[in-house]
Chains A and B, each alone.
Chain A
Amino acid sequence: MTNFESLLAALGSHGVAFIVVGGAAAIAHGSSRLTQDLDIVYARDPENLRQLADALASYQPYLRGVPAGLPFTLDRSALARGLNFTLVTSLGDIDLLGEIPGGGTYEDLVVDAIGLDIFGTRCLCLSLSQLIRAKRAAGRPKDLEALAELEAIEEEDR
């Protein structure tokens, strides 16, 4: 099970610039759907890559679904070489996304993201309308079902 509290605290305490997206963002807006991981969009500047790597370093980050023993270290240069990383850590699963369909990069999303205090950590999170746009753009069958719930939340919250 993913420990959202500890993961957010680790990111927050290292000053990582990130936005909560995906299922966790949906939970923040009132979704009752279970999610297995924390998805974040992170800023790609070199300093933030270092902070992100430092934040997760204590929690044995490793590529999810990849055989154990491969020479992988999550550091600034590894983050700079890739864009999206699906990781397992000792705090649970976390997806680090450089950009998302229907939303773009951290810089694109940060303008309309909302600020939330979650477990004492100040976080940015996709707004409900951003989340709906992202789910529409993703367009997978599971996203359509999630989209239906998000639109229902929007209707109930009016």
Chain B
Amino acid sequence: MSSDPVVEAYKAGIDRTLIRENLKLTVEERFRKAMELARFADELKRAGREYRSRPK
């Protein structure tokens, strides 16, 4: 348990199922997953920019 109540408050909101799934992966698989997520995040940002630039 953390000695910092702010950290404990943040911890309550953490999805531990994601952690458990990540811990089943190899380090390399964790990095590949992170890069896929980053690629997806970039694509979402691009789509959002495109949407905002459309004439209203």
Partners in one complex: yes
Complex contact B30–A1 (CB within 8 A): no
Q: What A residues does B18 contact at CB under 8 A?
A: 32
Q: Which of B14, B16, B30 contacts A27 (CB 8 A)?
A: B30
Complex contact A144–B22 (CB within 8 A): no
Complex contact A1–B22 (CB within 8 A): no
Q: What A residues does B10 contact at CB under 8 A?
A: 144-145, 147-149
Contact-residue size bin, chain B (C-beta under 8 Å from the other chain): 20 to 34
Complex contact A148–B14 (CB within 8 A): yes
Instruction: Judge whether A45 is part of the interface by a CB distance below 8 angstroms.
Output: no
The total of chain A residues at the interface (CB under 8 A) is: 29
B residues 2-29 near A (Cβ < 8 Å) are: 2, 4, 6-8, 10-11, 13-16, 18-20, 22-23, 25, 27-28
Complex contact A31–B22 (CB within 8 A): yes
Instruction: Judge whether A85 is part of the interface by a CB distance below 8 angstroms.
Output: no
Q: What A residues does B11 contact at CB under 8 A?
A: 148-149, 151-152
A residues 79-129 near B (Cβ < 8 Å) are: 116-119
Per-position binary interface string of chain A over residues 124-158, scored 1 when its CB falls under 8 Å from any chain B CB and 0 otherwise: 00000000000010000000110111011100110
Per-position binary interface string of chain A over residues 19-34, scored 1 when its CB falls under 8 Å from any chain B CB and 0 otherwise: 0000010011011101
Complex contact B31–A27 (CB within 8 A): yes
A residues 37-64 near B (Cβ < 8 Å) are: none
